[in-house]
Structure 1
Amino acid sequence: MQRLEKLKAQFDAMYVDAFVVTNHINIKYLTGFNLNEGDGCLLVSANHAYLITDDRYQQALQEFDQTQLEAVITRDYYGQLSKLCNQHKVTVLGFESTLAYNIFEILDEIMLCDIVSFDNVVEQQRAIKAPNEINKLRAAAQLNSAGFNFLITQIHSGMSEIEVANLLDWWLKKQGASGNSFETIVASGPNAAKPHATAGQRILQDGDVVTLDFGYFLDGYTADITRTVGIGKIDPILNRIYQIVLQANQTVIEHVKAGADGKKLDAYGRDIIKQAGYGQYFNHGMGHGIGLSVHELPASYGPGAQLQVKNQQVITVEPGIYLPNVGGVRIEDDILVQADTNEILTNAPTDLIIL
């Protein structure tokens, strides 16, 4: 299991004998086994990997084809963790800094070895996608793009925002999506000026712009796509900001490649928006990493970003302009970073569509 071996290879530099993983997405990444949040932990030592969980998972683990993973069935997850650490003479145990405080208190009380917190150990591994992960992300992006293409054949004035969101949910699940990775945004009219508005009861009207931001899982991996459409005759100012946001989106994408500086990537798009006079109306980062989660490393990149994107990462590019009480526009794509170029995974049209 190469992912576990990569984790073990870091132990000497971390000065630990073992590492406990409690984040259920990281457990899935390292082992391939789906454990619900809070239902156990993974202990990785130099020569062993123990999945500590309870009897609800016993049958599934017996059927799970993974010889390097040893199942430990118990209702006392952390008592068993302590016993295993004592058995393997662990003197320093690393743990994830995202560990819940109540669990930390348990470990602090019962562990005989030293326990040391680490940031983003597994997340750094997850940031670089393997070829099979890239294929899954590509498929998820294509499915989510198809969801947008379906929606534009259905949306019309008189629908509510929540009706649009529910229709998308029905269609994508019918096509094989397992669920959404965040609450779908359908923001119409003045609501489109709120970057994180969720779908509500507002009725779509002629003259609205409608921002659609959604991401659905396919085979464990998610996309994250945003498109903005118009209904009927929209205000010329909304058409203008649409073209500015589109130019910003395309300009950033043109510069995405391995080694690109996050701050500079942000500036390529943000400067276009500033020069058009709308800098104060773009109030979030330019994008973030995606994969098994909708937000993962590389972290959000914006004016103060201290990061370089790397080969085989997948990032979003999502500039926006939001005019209070008028409306807003955001266009978001998922981009595979490559050595000297990139691949746009989301293939839904970006030209302004008027319904």
Structure 2
Amino acid sequence: MSGRIERLQARFDQLKIDAFLVSSEGNLHYLTGMADMAGDGYLLVLAKSVYLITDARYQTAFAAQFDKDHLIITRDYLGAVCDVIADQQTGVLGFEDDLPYTAYSFLDENLVSDLVAIPNVVEQIRMVKSADEIDQLRATAKLADAGFEYITSIVRPGMREIDVSNLLDAFMRTHGASGPSFTTIVLGGARAALPHGTASQALLTAGQLVTLDFGYFLNGYTSDMTRTFALGQPNQKLAAAYETVKMAQQAVIDQVKPGALSADLDGVGRRLITEAGYGDAFNHGMGHGIGLEIHEGPLISTRGDETLVSNSVVTVEPGVYFPGLGGMRIEDDVLVTETGHERLTTATRDLLIL
């Protein structure tokens, strides 16, 4: 983890800060190696030292990583932050812009240094994955492919959406996943027009399109994959729209490379969908980054202003939705390589008719 902290420290001069306070779940996980720490303390990074301020539940876990002077065990987390800043005579403390107001108010009242909110500091570092992180993301994508293959081998009319979700969950956990990174989406028929609906007691019936959107953590890193398939011969309007979505997704993936602008990528797929007459039926962004969390930078949307960088992983997920009839979405995880891209989730995107 020391290399990651050094990358953060190397940005201090550019950001005009002398220290940075880390409090969010994903960033604490990235910099300490410990998941689920949000609310249980802070990582205080100074230019040449690092303090983990937490309580006794984590003392043993971090004893080898931090010496006794830099592992501060207390329940007064923010008071300890103020004490370290005063002792080290630190000038400007940067903090994440989603710090709760109560915490900010305490620091503003008690801190001797200046305070400045800086968005996406650690998040920008996290966008560039190490070789080990890429290996983990490849593995979790491979597991997602296996999960989709399993579901399409057993799903049939008469099953409930929630049955499919539970069977997928059991398969993924049995094969190494620690759990889902979001509530699994299984939607059949007209319910598939809900981009973020969740599995219900509704029965799947013959002739329906079914959308399956899921992500699972494997060794801390998550996949995010969507496929739509048919239970028997589908409605012709939906089948035609599906081919447009598949074409648009591939057109975007073809443009994934270092230097590509996120808004431009969104525009490539959105234009194709609009030209086919489905523009009003595509009502969300084109994709986002993934890693330790299900939503990371960059955001690929009409309002995206980021540039893709090599060794990052993004999703590409166009969809079309017709209220009262149904919908479809296709989503893959894509690695940005030095010269282009690599699709990590490789399950077929042809419309399976089961």
CA distance in structure 2 between the aligned counterparts of 1:60 and 1:288, rounded to whole angstroms: 33
CA 1:38/1:255 → structure 2, altered by over 3 Å: closer, same or farther? same
Greater alpha carbon shift after TM alignment, 173-182 vs 28-37: 28-37
Root-mean-square deviation (Å): 1.4
Matched, 1:243 2:251: no
Matched, 1:61 2:62: yes
Local SS of the residue matching 1:4: helix
Residues 108-161 of structure 1: per-residue CA shift (max 9 Å, x gap): 122121111101000000011111111111111111111111100111111111
Greater alpha carbon shift after TM alignment, 64-73 vs 2-11: 64-73
Aligned residue for 1:266?
A: 266
CA distance in structure 1 between the aligned counterparts of 2:350 and 2:66, rounded to whole angstroms: 47
Gaps of 5+ in 1: none
TM-score, length-scaled by structure 2: 0.97
Aligned residue for 2:257?
A: 257
Residues 193-252 of structure 1: per-residue CA shift (max 9 Å, x gap): 110111111100011111000100001110100000100121111111111111111111
Aligned residue for 2:48?
A: 47
CA distance in structure 1 between the aligned counterparts of 2:95 and 2:222, rounded to whole angstroms: 26
CA distance in structure 2 between the aligned counterparts of 1:66 and 1:218, rounded to whole angstroms: 27
- 1:48/1:68 contact within 8 Å kept: no
Matched, 1:10 2:11: yes
Greater alpha carbon shift after TM alignment, 328-337 vs 256-265: 256-265
Aligned residue for 1:38?
A: 39
CA distance in structure 1 between the aligned counterparts of 2:185 and 2:310, rounded to whole angstroms: 30
Aligned residue for 1:191?
A: 191
Aligned residue for 1:93?
A: 93
Query: Which runs of structure 2 are paired with 1:113-132 in the superposition (5 Å)?
Result: 113-132=113-132
CA 1:167/1:190 → structure 2, altered by over 3 Å: closer, same or farther? same
> Which AA in structure 2 matches 1:351?
D
Aligned residue for 2:107?
A: 107
Aligned residue for 1:318?
A: 317
CA distance in structure 2 between the aligned counterparts of 1:268 and 1:13, rounded to whole angstroms: 34
- 1:49/1:68 contact within 8 Å kept: no
> Which AA in structure 2 matches 1:340?
T
Residues 271-301 of structure 1: per-residue CA shift (max 9 Å, x gap): 11111111110011111111111111112x2
CA distance in structure 2 between the aligned counterparts of 1:146 and 1:238, rounded to whole angstroms: 26
Deviation, 1:13, is 1.8
> Which AA in structure 2 matches 1:152?
T
Local SS of the residue matching 2:138: helix
> Which AA in structure 2 matches 1:266?
D
Deviation, 1:90, is 0.9
CA 1:25/1:302 → structure 2, altered by over 3 Å: closer, same or farther? closer
Query: Which runs of structure 2 are paired with 1:279-298 in the superposition (5 Å)?
Result: 279-298=279-298
Percent sequence identity over matched residues? 48
Local SS of the residue matching 2:31: helix
- 1:286/1:317 contact within 8 Å kept: yes
Matched, 1:134 2:134: yes
Deviation, 1:34, is 3.1
Aligned residues: 353
> Which AA in structure 2 matches 1:123?
E
CA distance in structure 2 between the aligned counterparts of 1:175 and 1:35, rounded to whole angstroms: 22
> Which AA in structure 2 matches 1:265?
L
- 2:315/2:334 contact within 8 Å kept: yes
CA distance in structure 2 between the aligned counterparts of 1:154 and 1:100, rounded to whole angstroms: 46
Local SS of the residue matching 2:94: strand
Deviation, 1:339, is 2.4
Local SS of the residue matching 2:153: coil
Local SS of the residue matching 1:107: helix
Local SS of the residue matching 1:270: helix
Deviation, 1:35, is 4.6
Deviation, 1:264, is 2.0
Local SS of the residue matching 2:135: helix
Deviation, 1:67, is 6.6
Deviation, 1:87, is 0.9
Local SS of the residue matching 2:154: coil
Aligned residue for 1:353?
A: 352
Local SS of the residue matching 1:52: strand
CA 1:304/1:34 → structure 2, altered by over 3 Å: closer, same or farther? closer
Aligned residue for 1:23?
A: 24
Deviation, 1:340, is 2.1
Query: Which runs of structure 2 are paired with 1:99-248 in the superposition (5 Å)?
Result: 99-248=99-248
Gaps of 5+ in 2: none
> Which AA in structure 1 matches 2:107?
L
